[in-house]
Amino acid sequence: MSAAPILDHPLDRSTESATEYATRGVRKRTRENLRLVAPMRVRKASRGVFVIVLASILGVGLFGMLLINTTLAQGAFTLSELRSTQTELSRTEATLIESVAALAAPTVLEEKARELGMVPSSTPAFIQIPSGKILGKPKPAPGVPRATLADATVGEGVEAPSSSGLPPALGQTYDPAAADSKRATGEWSEPTLINSQVISDDLSLDSNAVE
Amino acid sequence: MSPNKNGRSLSDYGAARIDLGNTRKRGTALIVASTLILMIFAGRLVDLQAVQGDKLASAALDQRLKTVELPAERGSILDSSGEPLAMTVDAKNVTADQTMVTDPIVVAQALSPILGADADILAHRLTGDRRFMYLAKEVTPQTWEQISALRLPGIFSENTSRRIYPAGELAANVIGFVGAQGSGLGGYEYAFNDRLSGTPGETTYERGPGGRAIPTGSSVRVDAQPGVDIELTIDRDIQYFAQKEIALAVQNSGAIDGTVVVMDPQSGHILALATAPTFDPNFPTQSTQKNLNNRPLTSAFEPGSTSKVMTLAAVINEGAATPYTPIKVPSFLSRGDKKFRDATPHGNINLTLSGVMAKSSNIGTILAAERIGGKKLSKYLKKFGVGQPTGLGFPGETNGFVPDYEDWSQTSFPTIAFGQGLSVNAVQVASVFSTIANDGLRVEPSLVKRIVHADGSVEEPEAPVTTRVVSREAAIQVRAMLESVVGEGGTATNAKIPGYRVGGKTGTAQVVDDRTGEYSDQVVASFAGMVPADDPQLVVAVFISQPRNGRYGGELGGPVFKKVAQYALGALEIPPTGSHAPKLALTFGG
C-alpha cells in the first residue's frame, strides 16, 4: 500500500492501482471494526454414526414404501375380485328374477297343476265356521280335457270341451255339430216364445225389418 | 481505456466501442440482455396467464370433459297383487371390431349356434374396416357369457336392457308393448310411457388421453330418476281364466272376436279385461295390427238387448212402472215408417214388465219406454255413461255414440230403447250393469290401482267419480227382474250358478255391414250379469262377435259368464248369500 492519505471519497483515482481500487472497501472495514474475538470450537460428529443414521432413515423409508405398495397391490386384487364376484352375483340374481317371473306365469302353473293330476274346481262352496253350515252347492269337479291358453290363442286345433264342460241346463246342451246339420237341412227353427224350457230366443232379432 | 503506446485509443481510429474488455461492462451487458429476454418471457406469460388465461383453461377443460348419459330404469307394470306383468331386465348387445377379427368365417361359425343367427350373415357383418358393428342386440347375459368364454378377438359387449313380459299374452291388450327403442308403442306402455321411462341422468368427468377418468378432476353427477311402477287392478288369475274361456268360446263358435269384462261394482275396479284373439307382447310383430288393440275399449258396437236394462231401469226409477206392471204386447208396433217386431212372431200377449225383461221383448220395451219419453231416456243414457268418455286413457279408446236427443227421428226413440241405433264399448256395458249392481250408484271404471315410486312411496289415484243414476229401490227391482232372465222362462237359463243368485241380461244385437250400411245377418251375442244378485260383488260381461256356430246371447254368452263368474267367486272367496230368488210373474191374466 502506498503511503497516500486515506479519504472517504478519494478525489483522484487515476493514481490508484487496480488492487488498491478493489480492496478499498475491505481496508475501510477492517480499519474501523477491529476487535478481538474468541476462537470458535467446532465439534465434528464421528463419521460412522452419521452414516448409520442416514442409512437407517433410508432403510425405514424404503421399507415403508414397500409395505404400502404391497398393501395397495393386495387391496387392488381384492377389489377386483370382489367386483367380479359382484357382477357374477348381479347377473345370477337378474337371471333368477326372470326365471321366477316366467315360472309364475299362469299358463305354466296350469300345466304343472295338470301334470300333477289336478283339475279346475267347479262351483265354489263354503263351510261356515264354527257352525259347519255349508253355503253353496258343492259338487265334485269334473275332469276337463287339457286345453291351455297357449293352445287356444295360437289357433291350433283344440278339442271341443266335453259336455261336462257346459252346464247341462234343463236338458239342453250346446252341440255345434247338431246345429250345423240343422242349418244345412233347413230344419233350424227358432224356439217358441212362451213356456219355453229350452234356451229361449232373444226377441231383439230382426227388429229393424221394414215392411 | 488505456491508451496504447502511441498515446492513441481505439476511438481515435473512428471505431464505435462496446467495451467488453472491462468486467463491469461485460456484467452490465449480460444483465441487460438477460433482462430483455426474460421480459419477453414475462410478457408472454402475462399474456397467456392473465389475458388469455381463462379462455385457454376452459378450452382445455372442454377437451378433457366427457359427459355420459346415465339411463333410467324403466318402471314395471304389475298386477293387483304386485307381480310383474311387464319388467325390464339386463341384457347385452354383442358388438364386433372388424379390424380385430382375423378370420370372420371361423368366428361366425362359432357364434352362429349361440346367437341362433345365420353364419353367412354374421360373417358378412364381421368383415370390413369398421371399428364398431352390432352383431346382436338384447341377448341374455347367459348368452354373452357363452360367447365371451370363447375368447374370440374383436368381439365385445355393451350393457343394455330388455323389456320382457313373463306372463306372455296375459292382459296383453291392457299392457301393450314397446318398440325397439324401448319406448311404449301400444297399451299402457304407450299411454304411461313418460312416467314409466323416468328421467335419464348424466355424469360429467375429466378424462385423460387414454380415456380414463382423472381421479382428482372435477366430476358432476346427476342421478337418473327411475320410472314408476304401475299397479293395475287386474287380478292375474281371473284374467287368465277369462282369457282362456273367451279364447275357447271364440274358437268353438267360429266368431271373429270375443271379449270378457270382470268388474267390482263397488270400487269400479276392472278385475279382468280379456279379449280374443290377442297377442304376445314379447313378439308384437308376429300379430296382425288389429289384435294389438285393446278391443274392449277400442271397438264400438250396438249393444242390443243388454241396453234394455238401462231403459227399464229408467222407467222404474221414474215411477212409470214396476216389475209387476202388466204390458199388453201386440205382434208388431208401427212407429214412424217402420214396423217393429219381436224376433219370434206371436199374437197379442200379456207380459208383466218382468216378463218383458225375461223374454227380451222389443215391443214391450218400446211400450214401457214410451211411458217416460225420449228426452228422459236420453238423459238416463248419459248418466249411465254410454256415449261418454270411458276415461281409461287407452290409445284409440272409443266413447261409443248416442245421438243427441235433438237429432232423434221418429224411429230413433223406439230403436234406441231396445239397444240398436247407439254404439258402446264393452267396458261401458259392464259399467251399466255395475251401476245396477251397486244400488244405482255409478262408479267410474278404473284399471290403475296405484303407482309405486322407486323409493317405495305410493301414489294413490284420485277417488273415482260417482254418479247417482237410479235410486237404490229402483236398482233392487231391476235386479229382481234380471234374476228372472236366468230363471225359468228366461233367455239365459244356462248362466245359472248352483248355490248362487244370479241376475243378468242377454243380447243378440244386429251388426251393421260396413259395405252396405245396412243391418246384416251377423250379430254380437252377449250376456252381462251380476252375482250374488241380492248383494252383488261381481259383474261379468261377455261379448262374442259374429259367431258362426250358435247365435244367441244366452246360448253363447251364458256359459262363458257362468264359468268365469264361478271361478272369480272362488278366487275372491265370495260366499253365496243363502237366500232365494223371488219368483216374479212373467205374464198376467188368464
Nearest CA in chain A to B305: A204
DSSP-assigned beta bridge partners for residue B423: B401
Rg (CA), chain B: 40
In a domain, A99, yes or no: yes
Classified as helix, coil or strand, B335 is strand
Report CB contact under 8 Å: A135, B575. Answer: yes
Residue range B22-32: mean pLDDT, rounded: 86
- Check which CATH number belongs to the domain holding B550 and give it: 3.40.710.10
Contact B166 A101 (CB under 8 A): yes
- Rounded CA separation A124/A127 (Å): 10
Range of the domain at A79: 48-110
Categorize the per-residue pLDDT at A161 as very low, low, confident or very high, splitting at 50, 70 and 90.
Answer: very low
pLDDT tens for B393-435 read 898 999 999 999 999 998 999 999 999 999 999 999 999 999 9
- Alpha-carbon distance of B245 to B257, in angstroms, equals 12
Is the model more confident about B248 or about B111? B248
Give per-residue burial for B164-185: e unless 16+ CB within 10 Å, then b. bbbbbbbbbbbbbbbeeebebb
B314 lies in a domain? Answer: yes
Which has the higher per-residue pLDDT, A45 or B413? B413
Residues B151 and B77 in one domain: yes
Domain co-membership, B178 together with B261? no
Same domain, B374 and B451: yes
Residues B117 and B250 in one domain: no
On chain B, the residues whose CB falls within 8 A of the CB of A125 are 499
Residues B207-248: tens digit of each pLDDT: 877 667 676 777 788 999 999 999 999 999 999 999 999 999
- Residues of the domain holding B174: 71-200+223-227
pLDDT 10s digits, B563-578: 999 999 999 999 999 8
- Whole-angstrom distance, CA of residue B573 vs CA of residue B569: 6
B497 shares its domain with B566? yes
B38 in any annotated domain: no
Within 10 angstroms of residue B515's Cβ, the number of other Cβ atoms is 7
Cβ pairs bridging A and B (under 8 Å): 215
DSSP annotation of B461 reads P
- From CA A53, how far away is CA B340, in angstroms rounded? 122
pLDDT-derived band at A121, boundaries 50, 70, 90:
confident
B335 lies in the same domain as B459:
yes
Say what the pLDDT of residue A119 is: 86
pLDDT of residue B182: 85
What pLDDT is recorded for position A198? 32
Among B449, B568, B573, B570, which residue's Cα sits nearest to residue B80?
B449
In a domain, B130, yes or no: yes
Measure the CA–CA gap between B431 and B265, rounded to whole angstroms: 8
SS3 A188: coil
Positive or negative CA dihedral for A101, A103, A104, A107? positive
Angle, vertex CA B118, rays to CA B117 and CA B122, nearest 5: 85
Look up the ipTM and state it.
0.74
Q: Which of B344, B362, B551, B574 should one mutate to test binding to chain A, selecting the residue with the greatest count of A CBs within 10 A?
A: B344
Over the Cα atoms of chain A, what is R_g? Answer: 58
Whether the per-residue pLDDT at B268 is higher than 50: the answer is yes
B429 and B493 share one domain: yes
Q: Which one of B486, B494, B579 makes the best mutation probe of the A interface by having the most chain A beta carbons within 10 Å?
A: B494
* Inside any domain, residue B155: yes
Q: Is residue B447 part of a domain?
A: yes
pLDDT score recorded for residue B7:
67
**Which positions of B are catalytic?**
305
Residue B352 confidence class, pLDDT cut points 50, 70, 90 = very high
Q: Are residues B168 and B249 in the same domain?
A: no
pLDDT band (50, 70, 90) for residue B20: low
Specify the pLDDT at position A149: 44
pLDDT at A88 over 60: yes
Question: Could you tell me if residue B211 is inside a domain?
Answer: no
Q: What percent of chain A has pLDDT over 70?
A: 54
Residue A202: pLDDT band with limits 50, 70, 90: very low
- Chain A residues within an 8 Å CB radius of B282: none
User: What domain count does chain B have?
Assistant: 2
Query: Rounded mean pLDDT of chain B?
Result: 91
Helices of type H across B156-254: 172-175, 187-191, 193-197, 236-253
Query: Do both B243 and B195 map to the same domain?
Result: no
Neighbours of A84 (CB within 10 A): 10
Instruction: Give residue B137's pLDDT.
Output: 87
* A193–B349 C-beta distance less than 8 A: yes
Q: Which of B142, B302, B329, B493 to mutate to test the interface with A (most CBs of A within 10 A)?
A: B493
Among A155, A200, A206, the residue with its CB nearest the CB of B554 is A200
- Give contacts of B569 with chain A, Cβ < 8 Å: 124
Contact A176 B343 (CB under 8 A): no
β-bridge partners, B524: B509, B545
**B127 to chain A, minimum CA–CA distance in Å?**
31
Question: SS3 for A185?
Answer: helix
Q: What is the pLDDT of residue B351?
A: 94
pLDDT top residue among A59 and B48: A59
B51/chain A closest Cα distance in angstroms: 43
- B214 is a domain residue: no
Per residue in A1-17, is it b (16+ CB within 10 Å) or e — as a string? eeeeeeeeeeeeeeeee
- Would you place residue B171 in the very low, low, confident or very high pLDDT band (cuts 50, 70, 90)? very high
Give the one of B338, B344, B562 whose C-beta lies nearest to A192's C-beta.
B344
**Residue A12 covered by a domain:** no
- Residues of B whose CB is below 8 A from A169: 493-494, 496
Q: Are residues B387 and B317 in the same domain?
A: yes
Least confident among B340-344, B353-357, B379-383: B340-344
Task: Specify if A158 maps to a domain.
Answer: no
- B129, B256: one domain: no
B55 domain-assigned: no
CATH code of the domain covering residue B145? 3.90.1310.10
Evaluate whether residue A116 is within a structural domain.
Answer: no
Cβ-based contacts of A159 with chain B (< 8 Å): none
Residue A31 lies in a domain: no
Residue A102 C-alpha cell reads as 316366467
Backbone angles phi, psi at A202, to 5 degrees: -85, 125
- Give a yes or no: residue A80 inside a domain: yes
The stretch B442-464 carries a mean pLDDT of: 94
- Report the number of distinct structural domains present in chain A: 1
